[in-house]
A and B are shown apart, each in its own frame.
Chain A
């Protein structure tokens, strides 16, 4: 059986050329070693959830796998302690 030919259609490198430069975001927590991920820091964690309170994926935040895991855990803990909301509808009640 002949070897499979290299299919240009699925070449990721070429795709990148097609769709812009693909600027790679770097992980905020890797760049700034002083920056700690803490479930008590609601203001920091709000940057990693949408307005509706859902977690923002790694491809958007630019976090590395390790720090995204830390952020995810911190967000879940912060929700329990009411530092950040579970859902957006709850915000309305809090600001009555």
Chain B
């Protein structure tokens, strides 16, 4: 089994529900051809660096999956037939991949990322607390001065 990742750009005016429906269709295509979806992200509406079909914005969707060449062919055919798709790109990222192992790896990586995202928030909280403390101290000093 090989690992592939496909990024495709959906017309920005399409609703989130429509994008989700489309993504589910592609996921089912992958599963029907004995592939496994490893990762899936709707990355949201972004400005395009150049206009595609007169559109300045697009909704980016990213799918990471395993499978053989038939899966890629079928996924790309589905994308090509859909008129809501502006552009897509499939990249091979691994050879002889075990889907279960990769799924676990991706899960661990995501957890780490979430932790890293949470860590600055905790630090910021601590900073605001220390700020409050210094405020109290300055207030106390002012009170003393007044007395």
Contact = CB atoms under 8 A, between A and B. Distances in A.
Interface of A: 39-40, 42, 77, 79-86, 90-91, 93-94, 96
Given A81-B60, A85-B50, A94-B56, 4 more contacts: A80-B89, A81-B87, A82-B87, A86-B50
Contacts, number: 43
A42 to B, nearest CB: 7
A81 B56 CA distance: 13
Nearest to A86: B50
B108 interface: no
Nearest to B88: A81
Contacts of B58: 82
A81 to B, nearest CB: 5
Interface in B77-104: 87, 89, 91
B10 interface: no
B122 to A, nearest CB: 20
Contact of B50 (A40, A42, A94): A94
B49 A91 contact: yes
Contact of A80 (B43, B56, B60, B87): B87
B107 interface: no
Interface string B4-35: 00010100000000000000000000000000
A84 B91 contact: no
Nearest to B57: A94
B49 A82 contact: yes
B7 A40 contact: yes
A96 B56 contact: yes
Q: Which of B43, B48, B49, B60 has the most CB of A within 10 A?
A: B49
B52 interface: yes
26 contacts: A40-B43, A77-B89, A77-B91, A79-B49, A80-B87, A80-B89, A81-B60, A81-B87, A82-B9, A82-B48, A82-B52, A82-B58, A82-B87, A83-B49, A84-B49, A85-B49, A85-B50, A86-B49, A90-B50, A90-B51, A91-B49, A91-B50, A93-B50, A94-B50, A94-B56, A96-B56
A66 B112 CA distance: 27
B40 interface: no
